[in-house]
Amino acid sequence: RDFLKTAGVGALAAGASVSLPARAEGPTIKWRLASSFPKSLDTIYGGAETLSRRVAELTDGRFEIRVFAGGELVPAFGVLDAVQQNTVECGHTASYYYYGKNKALAAETTLPFGLNTRQLTSWVMADEGMGLLREMFAEYDILNFPGGSTGAQMGGWYRREIKSLEDLKGLKIRIPGFGAEIFSRLGAVPQSLPGGEIYPSLERGAIDAAEWTVPYDDEKLGFHKVAKYYYYPGWWETGTHLVFYVNKDQWAALPPSYQAAFEVAANEAHLEMLARYDAKNPPALQRLIAGGAELRRFPDDVLLKAYETAHQVYAEEAEKNPVFKRLYDSMMAFQERSDAWWGVAELPMSNLRQAV
Ligand code: PYR
């Protein structure tokens, strides 16, 4: 931007004449956005702030989106209902919080052992993902937009060490979406809690373990103070996507240039969130380990059984849920093509760098 300012001054100084076209006046529009996330998590909650700031900048302040944290306007897991019912015009959330309504919604966020973040973004933006997702969300009178990504997540914090599948029996763990269903089939007792409510439950022993996202957030939430073992890989969150929801009628009432501003700002928020996490996670993980967190890989029997169970769950769901089947088949076909390419270029390259 400084460069543009300087270039502008130079052009004027050189005597170029600049005539600005008259700006079309747009209406003043004020929206409220209900987030599922707590304000303390600047990166994930910040996705909505970026959207709001950029939309305002792109419309000369005429389109204002006020952001409310999880629980402020509506419950953290009430965002889909609130946008569908037009209680708020838009929201920022993770669709797998609505797993109970339709498991297909969870596929928009992430699937255990599924696509990584880049693959999921590519499926959504450059393959058939967006078209299929828009069809699904039309049933809720909602339009979905990319809302950021955490990248691959960690496997969470455990008070007790998980040495084998046996150790999952009866384990009370906070975990959302398909991950919760798989953990339950492995003998654990999953709990559904919004981000802002996890720490107090773990601290008072109401749960034995909790997963949220990645080291930068996990450190902020303080899980390391009450559970020592930090597990990887987070096989149920291979590239978690957040999402902006917009009520269909509210969207239709926007001038096209405001719609374009919203789309541009959502895309920027999507990219920016992942870039921030990728920059902030490495030092956060180092700090956590230096502070006493014990990093552990899930045992092989857990990973193998979880993989097998995930595919059983998908097969059962695809059998009875045509919306899920369409999304799942498309994602799996994409994953097969994409993995073949990653196996040639990205993976060997990063393996080589780590090995030398
Ligand atoms: C979670 O709720 O677990 C997320 O990763 C956002």
SS3 for 312-355 is HHHHHHHHHCHHHHHHHHHHHHHHHHHHHHHHHCHHHHHHHHHH
**Which tokens sit at 171?**
């384990």
Distance between Cα 346 and ligand 1 center (Å): 26
At residue 109's C-alpha, the angle toward residues 156 and 150, to 5°, is 55
Report whether pLDDT(6) > 50: no
pLDDT category of residue 16 using cuts at 50, 70 and 90? low
Q: For residue 44, give the ligand 1 atom closest to its CA.
A: 6
d(CA 97, CA 93): 8
* Minimum-distance ligand 1 atom for the alpha carbon of 213: 5
Test site for ligand 1: of 213, 217, 241, most ligand atoms within 8 A of the Cβ: 213
212 CA → ligand 1 middle, Å = 5
pLDDT computed for residue 9 by the predictor: 46
More confident residue, 4 or 75: 75
Interatomic CA distance for residues 354 and 169, integer angstroms? 36
Which is nearest to 212 in space by CA: 64, 40, 4?
A: 40
Residue 1 confidence (pLDDT) above 80: no
Handedness of CA 249, 250, 253, 259 (dihedral sign): negative
Token digits for 322?
A: 């045509």
CA 85 / ligand 1 centre spacing (Å): 24
Assess whether pLDDT exceeds 70 at residue 11. Answer: no
Flag whether pLDDT at 2 surpasses 70: no
Q: How far apart are CA 62 and CA 277, in angstroms?
A: 31
**CB of 212 closer than 6 angstroms to any ligand 1 atom:** yes
Judge whether residue 319 has pLDDT over 80: yes
Confidence of residue 4 (pLDDT cuts 50, 70, 90): very low
Give kind and range of the element (H or E) at residue 136.
helix 129-138
* Residue in the structure block whose two tokens are 């769950």: 313
What is the ipTM, given to two decimal places?
Answer: 0.99
Alpha carbon of 72 to ligand 1 centroid (Å): 19
pLDDT of residue 3: 42
Atom 3 (ligand 1): residue with closest C-alpha?
212
In short, whether 43's Cβ falls inside 6 Å of ligand 1 is no
pTM of structure = 0.93
Give the pLDDT of residue 356: 86
Burial class from Cβ neighbours inside 10 Å (0-12, 13-18, 19+) for residue 344 reads exposed
CB of 245 closer than 8 Å to CB of 79: yes
Rounded average pLDDT over 57-75: 98
Q: At what angle do helices 117-126 and 129-138 cross, to 10 degrees?
A: 80
What whole-number distance in Å separates Cα of residue 145 and Cα of residue 128?
14
Determine which residue's CA is closest to atom 2 belonging to ligand 1. Answer: 212
Q: Using DSSP bridges, classify how beta strands 142-151 and 90-93 pair: parallel, antiparallel or unpaired.
A: unpaired
From 95, 96, 197, 212, the mutation candidate for ligand 1 (largest count of ligand atoms within 8 A of CB) is 212
Instruction: Say yes or no to pLDDT of 227 above 80.
Output: yes
Q: Is the CB of 198 under 6 A from ligand 1?
A: no
* Number of other residues whose CB lies within 10 A of the CB of residue 331: 24
Angle at 41 (CA atoms; ends 35, 43), nearest 5 degrees: 90
The whole-chain average pLDDT of the chain stands at 94
Contacts of 18 (CB under 8 A, 6+ apart): 11, 12
